[in-house]
Amino acid sequence: MVHSASSPRLMSTAEFNEARAVAPELLQELLNDAPPDRREALEAFLNSAFLGESGVTAGLPIFVATTENDVEGIKAAISNGADVNAKDTEGWTPLAEAAGQNCTEAASFLLEAGADPNIPTTMGHYPVTIALIRGHDAAALALLKGGADPSLESVNGMSAAQWLSEGMSGSPALISWWALHGK
């Protein structure tokens, strides 16, 4: 796919309605043409993208393996073409799911596999602030060690740096790390 440097043209309402009317047929054609070994994953992705499901609810293998803290499952999903920075319809990446579920091993592996720790959700939350808000200090520490930018402010106006500087985390390991590496 070639992307132009210019801004994309917005569809008119009539064009959008026409596209929406033929979308189910086009999606079915896409599924029919998919290799048999990829059909299930493609169907889960399309359901997620077009039905508003989360990656976990849609059954996307990388999201499911992440929330189960299943590093081998994540490896298998990646070897089958899963994107470590894939977003579901709410803008959650596998790394955001790992942060939200305190799946530290999954978070660490995703970071090693190239996941970007600084991708916000659609609502404007970053994985590290998701972890901190939910009290998942081990996941927050893994994210910070893996390159999460502590200065990025989430939608609530709080950054990980503010959160940690104000002592809103009780984990000795995280407090010690922040004392040594904080900005």
The pLDDT tens digits of the residues spanning 103-144 come to: 999 999 999 999 999 999 888 899 999 999 888 999 999 999
Residue 181 has pLDDT above 70, yes or no: yes
Quote the pLDDT of residue 12.
55
Decide if 12 is inside a domain: no
Q: What is the pLDDT of residue 54?
A: 59
- Are the CB atoms for 118 and 153 separated by under 8 Å? no
The answer to whether residue 8 sits within a structural domain is: no
Residue 22's pLDDT band (cuts 50, 70, 90): low
Mean pLDDT of 178-183: 80
Which whole number is the average pLDDT over 21-46?
71
Q: Is residue 98 part of a domain?
A: yes
Task: Give the total number of structural domains in the chain.
Answer: 1
Task: Supply the range of the domain harboring residue 94.
Answer: 39-181
What is the CATH classification number for the domain harbouring 94? 1.25.40.20
Highest mean pLDDT, choosing among 20-24, 38-42, 128-132, 153-157: 128-132
Q: SS3 sequence, the chain?
A: CCCCCCCCCCCCHHHHHHHHHHHHHHHHHHHHHCCHHHHHHHHHHHHHHHHCCCCCCCCCHHHHHHHCCCHHHHHHHHHCCCCCCCCCCCCCCHHHHHHHHCCHHHHHHHHHCCCCCCCCCCCCCCHHHHHHHCCCHHHHHHHHHCCCCCCCECCCCCEHHHHHHCCCCCCHHHHHHHHHHCC
Q: What angle do CA 111, 114, 115 make, to 5 degrees?
A: 60
Q: Can you give the pLDDT at residue 172? A: 84
Instruction: Tell me if 161 is assigned to some domain.
Output: yes
First to last CA, the chain: 40
Asked if the model's pLDDT at residue 5 lies above 70, the reply is: no
Residue 118: CB atoms within 10 Å: 14
The 10s digit of each residue's pLDDT in 144-172 is 999 999 999 988 788 888 888 887 776 88
- Residue 17 counted as domain residue: no
In a domain, 147, yes or no: yes
Q: Would you say residue 6 lies in a domain? A: no
Query: Which element (helix H / strand E) includes 33?
Result: helix 13-33
Whether 82 maps to a domain, the answer reads yes
